[in-house]
Structure 1
Amino acid sequence: MSFCRKAILLSQVVFFFASAQTQSEFGTFDAQIGFFSSGGFGRYDQSDLRGGYTNLFGTFEIKSKEFFGFEFGVGVSATGLLHKVKNKDIYSDIVNDIVGIGFRINNDEAKDFRYTSTGFLFHTLYARYKNDWGSLNMGRFPLSLEWIGDYVEGVSAVIDRFEDWTIQAGWFDAQAYANAQENISFGYINYWYNHYEGYQIKNNYFLDVKYHHHLLDLNLYYNYFDTLLYMVGIRTDWNLAYGEWEFKTRLHYVFVNASKQSTQYCNNPSLNELAGLACYVPESMGSVAGYLWQVEQAFKYKGLHFALGYLQNDKRNATNNLPIYADDNPLEYNTVVYGEGAKTGYATIRYDYKGRYFLGLKYGISYYGNVEDKSSQGQFNALCGIVLKQMDISLGYINIDDANGYKNNIAKVWLGFKF
C-alpha cells in the first residue's frame, strides 16, 4: 500500500487543535490553524466504497474583559477544501441523492468519508452578564452538557452560588459545528431532519444539575428536543484514589420518550426505506417509551488509563435520535451504538507521557436490530499524537466490520500550528 493511501487512514476521537491565547487590553484572543486529512475505503456487499478529503481549517475567537458584569464574545471559523478523493460508489452524492443523504444522516463516519463543511461560520456571538449568583448567556455560544454540545443559538442561565453545585437551564433553536471535520452552519440539523424525515424542530429546552465532590460527580438532567424526544437522566461517577492508583465507576441511566417513525409518512416511502430514513408520525411526540443504561469501570496508574464498559438500549427504537446534538459514545463512531436494541461492550487503553505524547487503543462490539433484522458490528480504534509548544499532531486508524456486509477503514490526520 502506498504512503498516500496509508495517510488517509488516520483517525482520532477528538482532535487536539492547535491554539494560542493572548491577553490584551480588550480581552482574550484565541487562534488556531491547521491541515486536516480524512478518508477511507471499504465495501458494502459487492460494492466498493472510497472517499476522503484534505482541508485547511482555522478559527479565531475574541472575548472582552468584564465590564460592570458584562462580557462579550465573537468567534469565526473557516475551512478550505484542498483535495477530494474521486468516487462513484453508492454514497457519492450526499446532497441530492436520497441514498447518499441517508448515509450522511445515519452514519456518524460520513463526516470523515465525505466533505460536509460549509466554509465560513460565525459560531460565536454572545453577550454574558455575570454576578455572585451565576451568569446569563444570550446569542451564539459553546455549550457542553449531556447530549448537547458544540455551539448553540439560544439562551442559557447558570447558577453556581452554592458550593459544589451548578444549575443550568435554557433554550436553543439551532446548533452548529466548528471543527476541522465539520464546520457546519446553524440550522444544519433542522434542515436535514425536517426536510427528509418530516420533523418540525423549532425549540429545544434543557435543565442540568451538577454536584461535585472528591468522591462523587453527580449529574441530573432533563432535555426536550422538539418533535424528536424528551429525556430524564442521571449519571454518577464514583471516584476513589489509593496511592498512585485512581478508580472511577460510572453509572448512567436515561429515560427516553420519543416520537413514532414510519416510512409511510414520507413523501416517497419506497425511496426513504431504501435510504434507511423513517419519518416523523405527526402528534406522536413522547409516545415511544425507552431507555439507555451504561456502566463503566476505569483505572488509572500514572500515565496509563484503562476502562471496561457496557451500554444497552431498549428494543423500541426510542434512542436512535438520542445523540442528535452530542453524545458520550466511548468509541469513535456512534452509528449503531444507540440503535434499536443495541448492546455494546467495549475496552479502552491509553498511555500519556509527560502531557505531550499519547497512544490509545479501543475496541467495541455492538449487537443491534430487531428480531427480523439482527446484526453485529465490531469497531477498532487506534490513535496517537504529540502536543508541542508550537504544534500539535494527531494520527489514528479505525476499522468497522459489520455482519450485514458493511466494512470500512477510515482515518484522519491533524497537523495544527500555534501563532
Structure 2
Amino acid sequence: MHIVFCKWDRPMLRILLARGAAVHLVLDDYDWALGPDPELLARAASVHRVGHFDSIDELSAVAVDLLLSGAPVEKVAGFTEFSQFGAGHLAHLLGLDSPSPGSAAATRDKRLMKLRAAEAGWRHARFRSLPTAGPAETDPQALVAELGLPLVVKPVTGMGTLSTAKAETADELRTLLDGRRALAPELGSRQLLVEEFVAGREYHVDAVWRDGEPWFLRISRYLEPRLSLAGAGRRNGAVIVPREDDPQLYAWVEERHRALNKVLGLGSGVTHLEMFRDPEGGEPVFSEIASRPAGAFAPEALSAHLGVDFREVWAEELTGGSGRSLAFGPPPHRYIGWLNLAPPTAGVLTELPDEEALRADPAILDWEFVHRTGDRVDPDHPSAWCVLLVVGAATAAGFESAVERIERQYRCAAVREEER
C-alpha cells in the first residue's frame, strides 16, 4: 500500500515500514533541521522536501512528482497541525477524497471548526474574528461589552495554546490586540480570534476511526486547564477517564463526535478533540479538534491503557487493516495518565531525575527525556516538554497522590543564562 506521510515521526515510520507500506515522506525544513534518521529515509519509497507545508507551489510540485512516478497512492496522512493544509492539498491533487482541503481548513481554522461543531450539536464559546494581528480594528471595550471578561485571544490557525493568552481586563485585551505581543513565527495566518473564557474542567478526546465509527475512543481530563499552566511548572498532564466512571459522558461525546466527524468529512483516521465541562457535570463545551494524534505523552498513556501501541492502531487503519488483529487488553492500572516534569524557572537545565530511580518507581510506567542537562527550557510555555512520564494507579485518589509525590520527589532544575 502506498501512503504519503507528511512530517517526521520516527516511531510511526518504523511501524508503517514494518507493515510493508510503501511510504512517500514529505518533510519540511523544520524536519530536516531535526536530522531525520538516514537509515529510515533510505527505506522510504520516496522522500520529498518542501520549505513549508503551507506552500501550494512546492506541494503541487510534489503531487506532480508522485503522479509522474506512477505510485498508486491510497492514503495521505499528516502528523501535526502544520501539515494538515498540505495533506489536504496533496490528497486533492492525487485524486483522493480524504483528507480534503475543506476538512483540512475545518480542522485548522478555529473559527470554522466552531461553526461546524455547532452544526453537529455542540455548544461553543462565543467569539469574534479579527482580520489582522496588528492594531485592532475592533474596540476592546466593545468586545468586552459583547463577550464579557475574561477573554481569550488566540491565532485562528494555532496549535494547542501556542500564542494564546487570557485577558482579565479591557487594558490587557488592548495590549494583546495592538500587536505588542508577537505571534509565534511558525504561524502562517496572522489573524486573531477573541472568545469568551470557558471555566471548568478541560478534557481531550482521542480516537481512531473507520467509516464513521471509532475503533477506540478515550476521554482524558487535564490535571489543570492548559491556560492556567504558564509559569506553574506543575500538574502539566492528564488522566484517562475510565468509561465506567462516567458512561453518560462517553455516550454523549461518542454521539456528538460521530456527528461532528460527518460534518467535517472525517470518516476515517485519527482525531484529537478538546472540550470543557463545568465541575457539576452538564453538557460539554467544544473547544477545538485536530485530525492528528495527541501531543506530549498522551499517545504513550493511551498505549498503556489500551494494551496496544496507539500508533499501531493508527497504522492498522491507515494501511487498510480490519482492526481484528489488534488485541486490546485490560489496563495495568485503572487510572493511567501522562505528566510533564519541568523546572520552575526558565534557563539552562542543570539537574534532571535519575533514570534508574524512574525505572524503579512502581507508579511510573514509561518515560522520555525530551531535554538533557545543558539544554535551555522555558516552563512558562504550556508545551515546554522536558521529562514526560506515564503514571498509573489503582484509584483516582492514588493517581493524584502519585502525581504529587512524583513532582515532589523528582527534581528538574535550571539556572538563568546570566547566572551561569
TM over 0.5: no
Give the number of the structure with larger relative contact order, counting CA–CA contacts within 8 Å between residues 6 or more apart: 1
Higher helix share: 2
Using the size of structure 1 for normalisation, the TM-score is 0.29
State TM-score, norm by structure 2: 0.28
